[in-house]
Amino acid sequence: MKAQEENTEMLYSHVSVDCVLLGFDEDKLCVLLVERAGAPDGSTDFKLPGSLIYEHEDLDTAANRVLAETTGIKRMRLKQFRSFGSPTRTANPADMQWLQNALKLNIRRIVTIAYLSLCKIYKKSSLAGRYKSTKWFPIENIPRNLPFDHNQIIEEALKEMRRWVESEPSIVFEFLPLRFTAYQLRRIYEVIYNRKMDVRNFHKKMNTLSYIIPLDEWEEDVSHRAARYYRFDKVKYNQQRSRFNKN
C-alpha cells in the first residue's frame, strides 16, 4: 500500500491579538465592541477590538496598544487565555475584503491570540482611524453575526472570566466602586455565574472574609432601607491568600 503523499504546502499566517473587555453597567455584564469603518454593505458593523502585531512588538504590548486605542487607557490588567487559528475564521469573503482594504495587505489567514480584561465601564475613547465608534453591548444583546469568529471568542472569554474569578477572587472588586453595598457585590457574582444566589447565605459568607471591610457609612436618599457600605482591603486580601497558600 502506497504511503500517503506528504502535504508540503506551507501557509505563512499573519498573527493578531483580539481583546475582550468586560464591564458592568447597571447590573448588566457588557462587552466593548468597535464599529469598523467601511463595512461591506454600508451597514453598522461591530467587532472585537484587535490588530495585527507590529514587527517589533510582543503579544502583551500589542494587546495593551489595542485597548489604549479603543479606551484611551494606556495600561490595563490583561490575561491571555486562548489562541484561535481555524482556517474557517477567515472564510467570509466580506471580512477578508474589509481587512485587506483597512490594512492594505494581501491576507489569506490569521491566527489570533485572545486577551481578557475586566473593568468598570469607561466612556473615554481614543479611536484608531479604521474604527468609527465604540459601544458597550450587554452580553445578551451581542449581534449574532460578528465578523470572523468573534462570537466564539466572547463565549470562551466568559468561561475564562469565571475560572479567573475562582482562582483570584479579588478580580470582582475591579467591577465595583471604591464603596459598595452587599447587594452590589452579590449582583456581580450573580451576573458572572448567571444564577441567583441566596441572600442570607451570601451575607454569611461575605462576613467571614476579612478583606471586606464594613464602613460607618450608609446609603442616602434611597426609597428602600438604607444599605451599609463596604470597601475592599487589598492588603488584608494578600495576607489571607498568603496564609492559605502556606497551609
Looking at residue 5, its pLDDT comes to 59
Q: How many Å apart are CA 153 and CA 131, to the nearest integer?
A: 20
Fold category of 169-246 in CATH: Arc Repressor Mutant, subunit A (1.10.10)
What 3-state DSSP class applies to 9? coil
List Cβ neighbours of 147 (8 Å cut-off, separation of 6 or more).
36, 45, 47, 92, 95, 98
pTM above threshold 0.75: yes
Looking at residue 37, its pLDDT comes to 67
Share of the chain above pLDDT 70, in %: 85
H helices present in 122-198, as ranges? 150-167, 182-193
Looking at residue 81, its pLDDT comes to 95
Share of the chain above pLDDT 90, in %: 51
Tens of pLDDT along 26-83? Answer: 778 999 999 876 655 555 589 999 999 998 999 999 999 998 888 877 777 889 999 9
For residue 44, give the DSSP letter: -
Tens of pLDDT along 115-165? Answer: 999 887 765 555 555 567 888 999 999 998 899 999 999 999 999 999 999
**Cα R_g (the chain), whole angstroms:** 22
Q: What angle do CA 170, 175, 178 make, to 5 degrees?
A: 80
Looking at residue 247, its pLDDT comes to 47
Residue with cell 475564562: 160
Domains 14-167 and 169-246 share a fold: no
3-state helix, strand, coil in the chain (%, to 5): 35, 25, 35
Where does the pLDDT of residue 246 fall: very low under 50, low under 70, confident under 90, or very high at 90 and above? low
Tens of pLDDT along 14-41? Answer: 899 999 999 888 778 999 999 876 655 5
Domain residue spans of the chain: 14-167, 169-246
CB atoms within 10 A of CB 240: 14
Residue with cell 490583561: 78
Grid cell of 185 as nine digits: 457585590
- 14-167 CATH: 3.90.79.10
Looking at residue 21, its pLDDT comes to 92
